Structure formats: structure tokens, C-alpha cells
Structure 1
Amino acid sequence: MKTLFLSLWLSFVCGLAHAQERVVVIGGSLTEIVYALGAGERVVGVDETSLYPPPTEALPHVGIWKQLSVESVLSLRPTLLITWQDAEPRQALDTLAGLGVRVVTLPRTPATPDRLLENIRTVAEALALRPRGEALAADIEQRLAQVAQRIATVKTPVRVLFLLAPGGGSAQVAGTESVADGILRLAGGHNVASQKQYASWGGEAMIAADPQVIVVTQQSPQTAALDSLPGIRHTSAWRNGRIVSIDQALILGMGPRVADAVEQLNQRFYPTFRD
């Protein structure tokens, strides 16, 4: 009887503690993870890179993860801070931890599904939501595996290119080691950009690469503005009207909606494919 009473009491205390927990999340993908785990009601503040889900718009914002402000974070009276391992300045994290804030940091790279799944489990553990973390990770893994099975039947991958915020006279093209590159590949595309991270391309490079599909963000200027980019009108993608737009939060962050991004792009890359 005493054991049962103690178990019930501990459950009550833990539940109360979680209800009173005040979480600040600094890092867009990490914020999405917390909400995907169903712990959004605990979040009292986010950073400027946290653009999803919509409820985050109404929360206080505390700058960005590369410029942490101890004062801004403490003003929200947090009990838990979740951020990236390379958040700066490091001294700010040490100060917050010294003042009693529980600080959980996670690796940001490499931006791969495996890293994402590890981060989901770590965040779930920090929030005492391990079963939800395992369920979320399993769902993402299964959906990505289904897309991979479809891709395995494709003989020649479609040549794709991702342009970040085009319309300013030059194109910022996503190369290897970028999150966008990883998502394009997961969706079955062959990224024609071989440089690391992002680089500005001229007309000759665009024409030589000749992408069959060009991916832009929904937040970029309208498709008509792409016409001003050097060389773009001479690509197969432009001639065939294969300009694909996607929410920037999906393509620029390896977060819990990665399966949404991969499924959307896979369907646009191979519109005639049937299971």
C-alpha cells in the first residue's frame, strides 16, 4: 500500500513539475521538435529563427542562437533552455546554468535524418516524454523509408537546383553540406551544385548545370522575378515550367517536418510516378 501511495505521489509531483516548467527554445528546428512532442504549452519564449508552428508568433522572442542574451532569456524566468551546442557566446550558456537554468544543448551538424532522430530523442528525454519521442522518430523514419523505396526504382535521378531568395540579380545556390542539399537528395533529386554550402552563380554556371527542376521558397519573390537571373531562361526547368516552391522552414531546417518536405518534393520531381 505504501509503495502504491509513493508511486502515485511521485507521479503527481512530476506532473506538477512539468506543468510549472518554463521552456525557452533557441533554434528553429528545436522549437519544432518541442511542439511536435506536444510540449508547446511549456514554451515561454523562442528565438528569431523559430518560425513554426504559428503559436510561436505570439511568444516573446529573445534574439538568435548566435547572439545569446542572458538578460533576455532570464526575463522569461525559464527553468529549461534548449539550444544548439554551437550557440554563442558560450559564456552566456555557462552563466544561465550557473544561475540554476537547466541547459540542454544539441549538435546542429551533420544535418542528417540520423542526427534529427537523435535530437528528437534527446529533447524528449529532457522533457520527460520519451515514449512520444520514440513514436515521433519512428513515424519520420518510416515515411522517409517509403520515399527511399520509390526512389530506388528511378533509373536516372532528376537534376535539381535550389535557389535561396532569388531576385536580387544573382542566385544563391545550395551546394553540398547544406540542409537544402540533404533534403533534395532524400527526395530523389540530383543536386547539380557541387560547391560546399551556398555560392552566387552567374549565367554561364546556370546554363552549364541546366537543372530540370528549380526549387525556390514560397517566401521568395514571385516566379516572374526569376526571369532576371542570369542564364535561368536557358535552363530546361524554365522552358518546361518546372519551378517548384516550398515553405522555407521545410527546406532550410532538418526538423520534424522533414518527411513532409521530402514527400512534397519527391512528388514534384516525379509527378508521373505511381506506387
Structure 2
Amino acid sequence: MSRPSTAFETARHVVSAANAPGTYRVAGETELLRLSLEEQTVPPHLLDESLERAIASWVIARGGRRLNLNERQRSLAPADLDRDPVVPVRRLISIAPSNAEIVGALGAAPLLVGVESSSDYPPEVLGLPRLGPDLAVDMAALAALQPDLVLASLSVPGMERNIAGLDRLGLPLLVLAPQTLDDICGDVLRVGRALRMEAQARQVADAMRATLARLDAQRRGQPPVPVYLEWWPKPMFTPGDRCWSNEMIALAGGVNVFRDRVGQSVEVQPADVAAADPQVIFLSWCGVPTDKLNPRRVATRDGLQNVAAVRAGRVVPIDESLLGRPGPRVIEGIARMAEVIRQARG
């Protein structure tokens, strides 16, 4: 979860985080950029199209869907950042593991010529060139593979750096950043259109929607079980109000105890978890195999010894690939959570 020192680099500017939260410094300049989900302020002489795209990417990666840049407002969508391929896609790169999984579900894995380092599914990606971690993709190595299209992501803060890098290269890109399970189904369709595989994409998306509808019907009438889902332990990160994980937890029969926190991925403290007193805790750390997760260590954190989930022994690791990747396998992730939640009900 460590982040590069450079926040992003545009055609003209190298931007890095300044000392105060939400402030950023442009190399060679004294005036600061001030960025938040509510408003973004940039010295006018620094603002150009590439910097505006980078700031829009920054907002989207944190769950925002509205730009308020120097008091000019407009709505945002990940598709606003797309750059269409100029030829039929024969050489495809994915720089998020969820994107590679969507490609695999469409039967298009043979088109992939490179992936980011944590991509491990479908099996066809295992032998492909690795382009570095998803928060710091090696743009030179990516460009050397001469892709017709890059499938990018803004599902995690920090990924805006990759969008700015692809903009500098001028490469065609498709940007995915879903906030709901239906958005994920929509992303399957978007990828299908870009690859000219619309029929396959409709089949996958329709099957996902049918399964989600069935799961929704099954859980109705049951009181939801309070759940804490942990994406990272230090600092502690969990889904906020703008993340598809809320729906996954709900369809499994639970309720995210931090569903009211603003953002896609939000930081919490042990005291917050203790106050919420979840009955189930799921550990699904980004990029960490489940056999490396030790549920007993949760009880060593200040104030968590008396949390209901800890006392009942319901601190359960689930592979991050099933809970943290917005792709077709979210269905399997819901099923894994539902099994634990049913046991919690007794």
C-alpha cells in the first residue's frame, strides 16, 4: 500500500504531495494545488488540459463524480477519460487485476500482452510480462509492448498517476472505476464494446445480473449482521459509502458498519471498530495471500479484544481477489461472506 513520492506527472508538471493534507506542490512553483472531493483549487497559470485530466482522475479515484475546479463545476464519469483505440484491438494491456479478470471472462485473454504485477487470474496471465505494481506502473515497459488499448483503473487512490502517465504517452485507454455492482456489469459491457465482443459481454453481464437478483431475493427478510471488512491493517482501510463492497456485504446478509463514511476507501482507527462492534470481521488485505493473514493478531490491537467478532472467533480471512477486485468473481466473494454470516446468525 506504499505510494510513490510523485503523485502524478503531466505533460508540463511534476506534482508531489505537500506537507498539509490535501495540498500538492508543482516542481519549480511556490503556489500549491489544493484538492478535496468538494473543491479543487489550482493557480490559473498552471492549469492546462493535462493537469485538469489528472485532477479529474484524482477525484474519481477517491469516489468523487463531480469536478469543482477553480469554482467551475461539471459532472464526472470514468468514461470521460477514455481515449478510443484507432485500430482493432490485437494487443491489449491490463494495469489492474480486476480488468484482466473481465478480459478472461470474455474469452479474450489471448489478446493480453502485459499485466500489472499482482494479476494472477485467469491462469493465462501468469506467463505475461509484468509491468510493476498497480500504483506505480512502469510506463516505459508498457509503451515498449506497443498496445492498441490499455485497460486502466481508478478504483484505488493513487491510480491517477497511471492515467497521467498514459496521457503523456498518448495511448488509447479505457478507464474503469465502478461504485456499484451494476457498474461492474456495465464495465463488462464497456470492455466488450472496446474489444468488439459485445455478444460475449452481454452474456457475462446478464448472467451476473441474474445471479445478483437471486442473491438479493434470498437475503430479504433477514436482519443484517454488522460487518467490518478490512482492506489494510496499518493504517486500517475499509470500504466507505462509494464502494461496491457495500452491496456485496448486503447481498451476503450483512451491513458494512462504515457505510456512512464518505469515500471509496476510508481510513479508520481501532477505536472506531470497537465502537461499531461488528459481529463479523473479514480480513481481505490488498495483495496479501490468505495464508499470510493471522486473525488472532486482530485481538492484539488496542480496544478490539471485546469486539463481538473477536470474542466469538469470527475474524475470517477471505482472498482479496474475491472481495477487492470489481469483476465477475465478486459473485464467489458474496457466497464466501454469506456462509460466514449465516453461521453468525446461528
Instruction: Name the TM tier (shorter chain).
Output: 0.7 to 0.9
CA distance in 2, matches of 1:91, 1:147: 39
The residue that corresponds to 1:253 in the other structure is: 325
Kindly provide the CA deviation profile for residues 232-271 of structure 1, in whole angstroms up to 9, marking residues without a partner as x: 2201112222222211122112211111111221222124
The residue that corresponds to 1:58 in the other structure is: 127
Contact 1:27–1:84 (8 Å) recurs in 2: yes
Residue correspondences, number: 247
How far the C-alpha of 1:49 sits from its partner, in A, is 4.7
Kindly provide the CA deviation profile for residues 159-213 of structure 1, in whole angstroms up to 9, marking residues without a partner as x: 11112333x5x643433224433422332311112323322313x4333211111
1:145 equivalent in alignment to 2:213: yes
Bigger Cα displacement from structure 2, 62-71 vs 212-221: 62-71
Label 1:184 to 1:52 Cα distance change in 2 as closer, same or farther (>3 A).
same
The residue that corresponds to 2:251 in the other structure is: 186
The residue that corresponds to 2:174 in the other structure is: 105
The residue that corresponds to 2:269 in the other structure is: 201
TM-score, normalising length: structure 1: 0.78
Label 1:271 to 1:92 Cα distance change in 2 as closer, same or farther (>3 A).
same
Kindly provide the CA deviation profile for residues 5-49 of structure 1, in whole angstroms up to 9, marking residues without a partner as x: xxxxxxxxxxxx97x922111222111100111111111101135
CA distance in 2, matches of 1:91, 1:200: 29
Runs of 4+ in 1 over 6 A off after TM superposition: none
Contact 1:147–1:266 (8 Å) recurs in 2: no
Label 1:77 to 1:181 Cα distance change in 2 as closer, same or farther (>3 A).
same
CA distance in 2, matches of 1:266, 1:153: 15
How far the C-alpha of 1:95 sits from its partner, in A, is 5.1
Kindly provide the CA deviation profile for residues 84-133 of structure 1, in whole angstroms up to 9, marking residues without a partner as x: 37754555434544xxx5x2313414x21121111111111222211110
RMSD: 2.7
The residue that corresponds to 1:122 in the other structure is: 190
The 5 A counterparts of 1:87-106 are: 87-88=160-161, 90=163, 92-94=165-167, 96-97=169-170, 103-106=172-175
Gaps of 5+ in 2: 1-86, 285-289
CA distance in 2, matches of 1:87, 1:174: 19
Q: Any idea what SS the aligned residue of 2:130 has?
A: coil
- The higher radius of gyration belongs to 1
Bigger Cα displacement from structure 2, 61-70 vs 216-225: 61-70
Label 1:181 to 1:230 Cα distance change in 2 as closer, same or farther (>3 A).
farther
Contact 1:207–1:235 (8 Å) recurs in 2: yes
Identical positions, percent: 26
Label 1:232 to 1:132 Cα distance change in 2 as closer, same or farther (>3 A).
same
Which residue, out of 225, 228, 231, partners 1:158?
A: 225
CA distance in 2, matches of 1:161, 1:140: 25
Q: Any idea what SS the aligned residue of 1:45 has?
A: strand
By percentage of residues, which structure has more helix? 1
Bigger Cα displacement from structure 2, 77-86 vs 129-138: 77-86
Gaps of 5+ in 1: 1-16
Bigger Cα displacement from structure 2, 221-230 vs 112-121: 221-230
